Amino acid sequence: MHMETIVHKVQFCVIGGGMAGICAAIAAARHGVRTLIMQERPVFGGNASSEIRMWICGAREAETGLIEEIRLENLYRNTYANYSVWDSVLYEKVQNQENLTALLNCSCLDAETKDGRIVSVTGWQMTTQRFHKIEADFFADCSGDSILAPLTGAEFRQGREAASEFGESLAPAAADKKTMGLSCLIQARETDSPRKFIPPAWANVYPDDGFFTNRDHTLVGNQNFWWMELGGDQDSIGDTEKLRDELLKVAFGVWDHIKNRGDHGADNWELEWVGFLPGKRESRRYMGDYILNQTDVQSGGKFDDIAAFGGWPIDDHHPGGFLHQGPPNISITPDQPYGIPLRSLYSRNISNLWFAGRNISATHIGLSSTRVMATCATLGQAVGTAVSAALRHGCTEVRETASRYFREIQTMLMDDDCYLPGLRRASWPLARTAHLVSSGAGDPENLRNGTDRALGGASNCWKCRIGDTAEYDFGDSVPLHEVRLVFDSDLERNRLMMPANFFKGGKKLAPPETLVSSFELLADGKSVFRTESNHQRLVRIPLDIRARKLVLRVCGFAGSERTTGGVFSFDVR
Ligand SMILES: Cc1cc2nc3c(=O)[nH]c(=O)nc-3n(C[C@H](O)[C@H](O)[C@H](O)COP(=O)(O)OP(=O)(O)OC[C@H]3O[C@@H](n4cnc5c(N)ncnc54)[C@H](O)[C@@H]3O)c2cc1C
């Protein structure tokens, strides 16, 4: 007997629906690419989803583009920082996206290759008991564990490089197979009265604080128990199930210690949630044409083909994890954001395979910084955008796409509000050549200077008050097709949105107060667009009109008391 196989023919197939995978899929679909994303879980988000509950971290310099859009949507919709609402934000971003098909609960387990290319991949969907076979021009592996590496023969590495190979001072003297470990997180809730906790008989017992040297386990601030980590000296793929069993013993044992073994100020706290799906930090890393390493991370990574940036510290965890008595990690922050090149995002020996996420072409030390999810999301957006450029030019190879079209890919990314350090977006010719005036004291030239964030002491922002206007005069009546606005979403805000533990009174989310929530566009004095409910930084408004003058009028900010704010970009074509 055979199980049914459904065949899908698309242009681009993404495996894995973590933050990297969904951004790759959405970016491609928005640029007109028929895309399919296969995700083995019922929810999107990978380690950020309700199943694992890690925060989305990134560089000190905020990531924008799709990840900022997703964050702002969550701030708007998810007032009480609820994990199911967060799942639904990610779910609808994918499900409501034109050109994008999602296969949930579907695990990729096979691939067909010919002449160094992937022809198709196949997944098993557990809920329907069907196989899905996807034929596509390009594939992106965003599965974290790089499932397409063993299935296609794409080159990969697992483990730590020797210091001498890339001149990495932080790498071990000799190469080994060790990685960072896995974790099952826990979350706790503060209540009004004392709560008992009876540990399962199989939980580990930690009678005193001796086990917790260097591991803060007080219920204050942003404690999320990330140091409950095991498996760095085992096989972080093959041993996952065994490690999960050990991690659960640790998780329940740590909570038993906090509740029952010494005063941890936790009498009124109860266990809210335990992750039964281990979060993974590191396993297979693909090999691309460039292997990003410690020097790049620490010297600003200047690449012609920059496609994204990183900036999280070199945050390398000891492979012994919780069993290692010394500090659980080293954390060394780079002085500046560093570029990540397109050449680190495609396979060097499979000619239609891209990747994004923690599996990119980086050394172990490089990965220890690139692995955070806001960085992964921007890598995904770069890959999806690159695929759309390739298809537009009829280009079939990843290497050729990157080498011939990287400038165009960078332009597309910056138009889509991605920040590429060292590059400046060219505002569109119509806006650039028009006469621009504004009311109020702010400098309107900032609206078309191509930099949409404060940088090097310059605000790059048109400072405005409620009622202020900025006006383009094109000298003659011209066709207008699109307006692109970038509002101030306060990139300096605390970008950790979701709670680690649930304190009494709860955490409340809201759009940044600085954001323009209400504005109007007027063409030759006539209103052509108005909204009172904007909650996004990048806003693109399609138009189909002719006009000589186009005015942006600011009518209100997200902070109800707020009367002043800023706009970074007012572009038109
Ligand atoms: C405990 C822990 C703490 C961390 N702390 C932070 C933090 O505070 N902030 C931060 O930003 N990062 C943190 N990280 C790192 C970060 O979570 C990962 O590096 C990041 O999630 C990698 O993103 P990704 O999209 O590549 O993979 P993932 O988030 O793992 O997403 C990959 C998705 O692909 C799916 N998938 C896998 N195989 C298949 C298959 N065969 N078919 C279909 N789908 C598949 C997976 O189920 C998963 O949903 C932490 C990691 C761990 C484990």
Tens digits of per-residue pLDDT, 394-418? 999 999 999 999 999 999 999 999 9
The alpha carbon of 479 and the centre of ligand 1 are apart by a number of angstroms equal to 45
* Closest ligand 1 atom, residue 185 Cα: 1
Answer yes or no: pTM beyond 0.95: yes
Asked if residue 109 has pLDDT above 90, the reply is yes
- Give nearest CA residue, ligand 1 atom 51: 281
**φ, ψ at 426 (rounded to 5°):** -85, 120
Of the residues 43, 47, 108, 381, which should be mutated to test ligand 1's pocket, given the most ligand atoms within 8 Å of the CB? Answer: 47
Q: Which pLDDT score is estimated for 219?
A: 86
Asked if residue 567 has pLDDT above 90, the reply is yes
pLDDT band at 211 (very low <50, low <70, confident <90, very high): confident
Q: Tell me how far apart the alpha carbons of residues 359 and 142 are, in angstroms, rounded to a whole number.
A: 7
Arithmetic mean of pLDDT, 57-85: 97
Q: Which pLDDT score is estimated for 101?
A: 98
Q: Which pLDDT score is estimated for 406?
A: 98
Q: Tell me how far apart the alpha carbons of residues 377 and 367 are, in angstroms, rounded to a whole number.
A: 14
Arithmetic mean of pLDDT, 22-47: 98
The alpha carbon of 144 and the centre of ligand 1 are apart by a number of angstroms equal to 6
Q: Which residues contact 543 (CB under 8 A, 6 or more apart)?
A: 480, 481, 482, 483, 521, 523, 528, 529
pLDDT band at 155 (very low <50, low <70, confident <90, very high): very high
pLDDT in tens, 192-204: 999 999 999 999 9
pLDDT in tens, 161-180: 999 999 999 999 999 999 99
The alpha carbon of 45 and the centre of ligand 1 are apart by a number of angstroms equal to 8
Q: Which pLDDT score is estimated for 266?
A: 95
Q: Which pLDDT score is estimated for 83?
A: 97
Of the residues 143, 322, 354, which should be mutated to test ligand 1's pocket, given the most ligand atoms within 8 Å of the CB? Answer: 143
Residues with CB under 6 A from ligand 1: 15-21, 38-41, 46-47, 54-57, 107-108, 123, 142-145, 147, 183, 226, 279-281, 357-358, 371-373, 376
Contact 252, 259 (CB under 8 A): no
Q: Tell me how far apart the alpha carbons of residues 360 and 292 are, in angstroms, rounded to a whole number.
A: 9
218: closest CA among 178, 264, 262?
A: 264
Which ranges of 358-515 would DSSP assign to H, the alpha helix?
A: 364-370, 373-392, 398-415, 429-433
Asked if residue 376 has pLDDT above 80, the reply is yes
**φ, ψ at 367 (rounded to 5°):** -60, -35
**Residue that the structure tokens 């691309």 belong to:** 288
**What is residue 346's DSSP assignment?**
B
Contact 18, 48 (CB under 8 A): yes
**DSSP string over 48-87:** GSTTT-------SSPP-THHHHHHHHHHHH-TT--HHHHH
pLDDT band at 349 (very low <50, low <70, confident <90, very high): very high
Q: Which pLDDT score is estimated for 220?
A: 80
pLDDT band at 352 (very low <50, low <70, confident <90, very high): very high
Asked if residue 1 has pLDDT above 70, the reply is no
Contact 469, 551 (CB under 8 A): yes
Q: Which pLDDT score is estimated for 2?
A: 84
* Closest ligand 1 atom, residue 57 Cα: 11
Of the residues 118, 373, 495, which should be mutated to test ligand 1's pocket, given the most ligand atoms within 8 Å of the CB? Answer: 373
pLDDT in tens, 485-533: 999 999 999 998 899 999 998 889 999 999 999 999 999 999 999 999 9
Q: Tell me how far apart the alpha carbons of residues 25 and 28 are, in angstroms, rounded to a whole number.
A: 5
Q: Tell which phi-psi region holds residue 225, choosing left (phi > 0), alpha (psi between -120 and 50) or beta.
A: left
Asked if residue 65 has pLDDT above 80, the reply is yes
Q: Tell me how far apart the alpha carbons of residues 531 and 518 are, in angstroms, rounded to a whole number.
A: 5
* Closest ligand 1 atom, residue 377 Cα: 25
The alpha carbon of 531 and the centre of ligand 1 are apart by a number of angstroms equal to 36
**Chain-wide mean pLDDT for the chain?**
97
* Closest ligand 1 atom, residue 278 Cα: 53
The alpha carbon of 14 and the centre of ligand 1 are apart by a number of angstroms equal to 15
* Closest ligand 1 atom, residue 357 Cα: 26
* Closest ligand 1 atom, residue 356 Cα: 26
pLDDT in tens, 442-489: 999 999 999 999 999 999 999 999 999 999 999 999 999 999 999 999
- Give nearest CA residue, ligand 1 atom 5: 54
